[in-house]
Amino acid sequence: MTAPRIAFLILAHRDAPLLERLCRLLNQHAVFVHIDGRSTDFPVERIESLSHVTVARPRTNAYWGDFSLVEATLTLLKAAREQASFDWYVLISGTSYPVKPLAALEAALEQDANREWIALTPIARDSVLHNLIGRRWRLAPLLEHRGSDIRLRRLWNKMSRLVGRNFEREIGMTPYFGSQWWALSGRCVASVMEFVDTHPSFVRAYRSVYAADEQFFHTIVANSEFGRFAIQVDDRGESTSHSSPLHEIATHGEGYLGAEAADFERAKATDKFFIRKVSAERSGSLLDRIDRELLQIENVVSTLK
């Protein structure tokens, strides 16, 4: 059986040694990387020199919880689709790392060709998130001076809460949320991109939504013909976005998996294909052990300094 053609889409903003190591592990497939535009000292040429890697442009200045993360993801999707027609588009982070051989992921993707590996949770009217989408947020900086900017945005968001908004009416459909990380089929991605191109009012509405990266694609997929093939997840509050179809996500301490034996056991026991978050500095021995015992390869250690 021929392996599926996968485009790995990576959102990265720091830790170049880890990113290079990750890209080298994925060398059986095409890799597209968006590097945060604010990372001005990032060795982009080093990453771009890898023959199977494309650095997507333009490089957006990406901010936590802001629509800029959606823009960066759309840039990755466009770059991949311009290069070739892929069977699957897999979105991961620059702080992700595989814990199973690529063949296992390929087999899982091909086992059910209709499945869409995206977690979908409807935003209930009595939920915390419904209250958050009931206002117009400003998450990206307005001013260069950090202190003044934070105060100005706090005022903006407080006033927006008083004014309120009917977000469901703005987008004309039921909003959904879920983990930012997913794998979508080529047919589903084509449908998503067509929707984005033909519904500017929908895109405009999400530019002022809190954590749009965990809602934008989810809402489009859920309200399409592909929604019934996605993974339905009950709302469990703040932890719901950790229910990633592909990732075992660190939630303890500083949110990183490190050198502790328990972290390796967690990586070994998971039925997911990636772990997140790791770093070259904090997680080096863990990654080496994963290479040896789980991936059964020689260490893929970057020489980036």
Q: Does any domain span residue 155?
A: no
The CATH code of the domain that includes 185 is 3.90.550
CB-based contact 291:300 (threshold 8 Å): yes
Q: Does any domain span residue 150?
A: no
Helical H segments across 51-92, by residue range: 68-83
User: For residues 100 and 80, what is the distance between their CA atoms, to the nearest angstrom?
Assistant: 24
Q: Does any domain span residue 154?
A: no
Annotate 10-49 with DSSP letters as a single string.
EEE-S-HHHHHHHHHHTTTSEEEEEE-TT-TT--HHHHHT
Q: Does any domain span residue 180?
A: yes
Domain, as residue range, for 23: 6-126+175-294
User: For residues 283 and 98, what is the distance between their CA atoms, to the nearest angstrom?
Assistant: 13
Q: Are strands 274-276 and 247-249 parallel, antiparallel or unpaired?
A: parallel
pLDDT at 47: 96
Q: Where are the beta strands (DSSP E) in 78-178?
A: 88-93, 96-98, 119-122, 176-177
The number of helix segments (H) and strand segments (E) in the chain equals 12, 11
Q: Does any domain span residue 135?
A: no
User: For residues 268 and 264, what is the distance between their CA atoms, to the nearest angstrom?
Assistant: 6
Q: Which of 265, 264, 254, 255 is nearest to 284 (CA)?
A: 264
Q: List per-residue pLDDT tens for the chain, 305 residues long.
A: 678 999 999 999 999 999 999 999 999 999 999 999 999 999 999 999 999 999 999 999 999 999 999 999 999 999 999 999 999 999 999 999 999 999 999 999 999 888 999 999 999 988 999 999 999 999 999 887 778 888 999 999 999 989 989 999 999 999 999 999 999 999 999 999 999 999 999 999 999 999 999 999 999 999 999 999 999 998 876 667 678 999 998 876 557 888 788 999 999 999 999 999 999 998 999 999 999 999 998 766 545 54
pLDDT at 255: 78
User: For residues 108 and 104, what is the distance between their CA atoms, to the nearest angstrom?
Assistant: 6
Q: Does any domain span residue 165?
A: no
Domain count, the chain: 1
Q: Does any domain span residue 146?
A: no
**pTM across the whole model:** 0.94
Q: Does any domain span residue 138?
A: no
